[in-house]
């Protein structure tokens, strides 16, 4: 099936299905799911634990492949790319932020931020100024030489944001980026994500249990029982889900 994306769509999923083999049967996470994300949009995805939100994010980011269906980025079917090309696409176009920081403990903050550029083929001399600029942008230039274990949880997550943006991606995918942080620190990280979304002209997709943070987005979708649809405002309130 060919997409009818047009200029309004940056990311489009068509008939997306993901299932895993479980014993003698298949465990279907979701089936026939459609999604379209416009350039510059901030989209929040909510739902109960185990609903498949992270699975969907992994598929959209090219970290996993769908059992059925297609994923188009600017009209190109990334779900059919060879592994090597898919890895290159991820490195160029997508910034990832996870609940756990996954910083390499033996490296400094600067070296962690440089990593995507080094993987992409730049020399250290080329990568270091760009990485330092991103650290300065998240307020951590003075902590560039510190290793991950010497940073607070909020500082670690700011390093993760710098790393996610160092290759100047078009799409930011964030999976519970404040899940391990206290409320105040989480709010500061969300403020920073909002600011970076604007200054870097990103398209952003945020998975969160925090509905207060979700409502900052342009659009909130809920994944429930394998069905993706608008989150009902009357059910959102100020609680966590």
Residue 238 has a pLDDT of 42
Q: What's the CATH number where 197 sits?
A: 3.40.50.300
In a domain, 235, yes or no: no
- pLDDT per residue rounded down to tens, the chain (241 residues): 444 444 478 999 999 999 988 878 888 999 999 999 999 999 999 998 888 999 999 999 999 999 999 999 999 999 989 999 999 999 999 999 987 778 999 999 999 999 999 998 999 999 999 999 999 999 999 999 999 889 999 999 999 999 999 999 999 999 999 888 888 999 999 999 999 999 999 999 999 988 999 999 999 999 998 899 998 753 444 444 3
In a domain, 239, yes or no: no
Residue 233 has a pLDDT of 58
Q: What is the pTM of this model?
A: 0.89
Residue 37 has a pLDDT of 96
In a domain, 121, yes or no: yes
Residue 55 has a pLDDT of 94
The answer to whether 78 and 62 are in contact (CB under 8 A) is: yes
Location of structure tokens 């999923």 = 13
Nearest residue to 18 (alpha-carbon basis) of 9, 10, 27: 27
Q: Which domain holds residue 164?
A: 6-230
Nearest residue to 120 (alpha-carbon basis) of 62, 85, 73, 167: 167
In a domain, 224, yes or no: yes
In a domain, 237, yes or no: no
In a domain, 106, yes or no: yes
Tokens of 94: 């997508």
Residue 236 has a pLDDT of 47
The answer to whether 64 and 120 are in contact (CB under 8 A) is: no
CA dist 169 and 149 (Å) reads: 27
Residue 217 has a pLDDT of 95
The answer to whether 207 and 57 are in contact (CB under 8 A) is: yes
In a domain, 1, yes or no: no
Residue 50 has a pLDDT of 85
The answer to whether 3 and 73 are in contact (CB under 8 A) is: no
User: What is the domain count for the chain?
Assistant: 1
In a domain, 133, yes or no: yes
């Amino acid at each position: 099936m060919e997409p009818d994306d047009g200029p309004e769509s940056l990311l489009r999923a068509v008939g997306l299905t993901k299932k895993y083999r479980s014993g003698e049967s298949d465990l279907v996470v979701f089936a026939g799911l459609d999604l379209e994300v416009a350039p510059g949009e901030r989209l929040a995805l909510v739902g109960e634990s185990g609903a498949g939100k992270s699975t969907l994010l992994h598929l959209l980011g090219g970290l996993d492949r769908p059992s059925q269906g297609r994923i188009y980025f600017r009209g190109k079917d990334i779900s059919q790319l060879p592994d090597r090309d898919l890895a290159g696409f991820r490195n160029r176009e997508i910034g990832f932020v996870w609940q756990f920081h996954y910083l390499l403990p033996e490296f400094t903050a600067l070296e962690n931020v440089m990593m995507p550029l080094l993987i992409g083929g730049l020399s250290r001399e080329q990568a270091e100024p760009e990485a330092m600029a991103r650290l300065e942008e998240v307020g951590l230039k003075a902590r560039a030489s510190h290793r991950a274990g010497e940073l607070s949880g909020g500082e670690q997550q700011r390093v993760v944001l710098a790393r996610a943006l160092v290759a100047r991606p078009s799409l930011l995918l964030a999976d519970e980026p404040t899940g391990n942080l206290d409320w105040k620190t989480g709010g500061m990280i969300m403020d920073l994500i909002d600011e970076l979304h604007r200054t870097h002209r990103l398209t952003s997709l945020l998975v969160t249990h925090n509905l207060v943070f979700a409502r900052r987005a342009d659009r909130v979708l809920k994944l429930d029982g394998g069905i993706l649809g608008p989150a009902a405002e009357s059910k959102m309130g100020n609680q966590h889900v």
